[in-house]
């Protein structure tokens, strides 16, 4: 049987990197959107409402793409129930904990703790799948990748201390755990549901909860969009549609440990793009070293066993 292009190591690297690059670009785009909308220091419900609109657009875009390409929607009652649960885990619950946790701790801690989800994904896969065990290469890759994430978030005079708050650091740990669990669950669902349908459904259905919760709290029309901020919202919705579609397709055809290691790129790309587009953010030698560490980690994980 001919292998899918998503099983090819080169294309796997390309598609995974594109996904991480797109997700990384969301950091400066979201910060700029918050500034334009004036909700940077507003209650977290405004941010959840903004996220809901973003993911609703993502889901709709993928559904439109499926209709244009005449993709078949073969979905059983059981499959729909699985998609509801995935939507709740991956989009609704995940981003609720994320936005509340992010508002109650520092950005440095947030980046490090959420990156911990990559390690959990590989760790959970090690115990869940018989053919996805961690090797010495995997462990080495994890150490290099996590070292890169930590280094890039420890600037001069920065500190990751300051205690532990359940609604801050605790919620972010829950976010990392939910992300890892949702990744495994998505792989199981992808055996019976196409990655595109799964992605569109989980984004759209999950967005309904976020919009409902945020809208009932602060009002559905509480975000004052202009041309620029609305354009950024469309951009964020588009990159989520593309990134999630590529990512879930890669998860379907590859071991989770092989794909999850690429997520170490997200905070690196986020930092680089923030330095390019956000005032006061600058590239440093630590960012370059972090890129080298992350790249080394990816190489180790993808090396064949002797």
Q: CA 75: distance to chain centroid?
A: 25
Residue 295 counted as domain residue = no
Domain range for 223 is 5-132+161-257
| pLDDT tens digit sequence for 232-279 | 999 999 999 999 889 888 988 888 777 877 877 887 887 788 878 877
d(CA 278, CA 35): 11
Query: What pLDDT is recorded for position 105?
Result: 67
304 domain-assigned: no
pLDDT at 112: 65
pLDDT tens profile 38-78: 887 888 899 899 999 999 999 999 999 888 888 777 777 77
Sign of the CA dihedral with 260 first, then 262, 263, and 264 last: positive
* Cα 135 to Cα 1, 172, 296, 304, 305, distances in angstroms: 28, 28, 16, 10, 8
Whether residue 285 lies inside any domain: the answer is: no
Retrieve residue 240's tokens. 């989520």
Q: Which residues contact residue 83 at a Cβ distance below 8 angstroms, ignoring those fewer than 6 apart?
A: 75, 189, 193, 198, 201, 202, 205
In a domain, 297, yes or no: no
How many structural domains are present in the chain? 1
Residue 250 tokens read as 């890669």
What pLDDT is stored for residue 31 in this prediction? 82
| 98 belongs to a structural domain | yes
Residues with Cβ within 8 Å of 247's Cβ and at least 6 positions away in sequence, in order, are 16, 19, 259
Q: Which residues of the chain have pLDDT under 70?
A: 1-2, 102-103, 105-113, 115-116, 129-132, 152-164, 281, 302-306
Q: Is residue 276 part of a domain?
A: no
In a domain, 203, yes or no: yes
- Residue 59 inside a domain? The answer is yes
């Amino acid at each position: 049987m001919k292998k899918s292009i998503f099983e090819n190591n080169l294309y796997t690297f390309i598609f995974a990197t594109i996904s991480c690059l797109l997700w990384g670009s969301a950091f400066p785009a979201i910060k700029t959107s918050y500034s334009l909308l004036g909700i940077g220091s507003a209650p977290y419900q405004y941010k959840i409402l903004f996220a809901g609109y973003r993911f609703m657009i993502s889901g709709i875009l993928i559904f439109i793409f499926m209709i244009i390409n005449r993709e078949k929607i073969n979905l059983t009652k059981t499959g729909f129930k699985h998609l509801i649960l995935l939507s709740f885990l991956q989009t609704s619950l995940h981003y609720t904990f994320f936005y509340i946790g992010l508002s109650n701790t520092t950005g440095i801690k947030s980046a490090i703790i959420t990156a911990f989800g990559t390690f959990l994904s590989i760790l959970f896969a090690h115990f869940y799948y018989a053919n996805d065990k961690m090797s010495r290469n995997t462990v080495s890759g994890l150490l290099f990748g996590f070292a890169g994430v930590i280094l890039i978030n420890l600037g001069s005079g920065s500190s990751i201390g300051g205690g532990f708050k359940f609604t801050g650091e605790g919620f972010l740990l829950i976010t990392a755990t939910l992300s890892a669990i949702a990744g495994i669950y998505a792989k199981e669902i992808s055996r019976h549901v196409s990655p595109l349908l799964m992605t569109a459904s989980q984004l759209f259905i999950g967005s309904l909860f976020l919009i409902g919760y945020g809208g009932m709290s602060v009002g559905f029309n509480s975000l004052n969009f202009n041309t620029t901020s609305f354009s950024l919202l469309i951009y964020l919705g588009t990159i989520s549609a593309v990134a999630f579609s590529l990512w879930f397709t890669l998860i379907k055809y590859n071991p989770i440990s092989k794909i999850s290691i690429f997520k170490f790129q997200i905070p690196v790309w986020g930092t680089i793009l923030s330095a390019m587009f956000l005032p006061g953010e600058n590239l440093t030698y630590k960012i370059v070293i972090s890129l080298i560490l992350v790249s080394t980690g990816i190489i180790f994980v993808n090396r064949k066993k002797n």
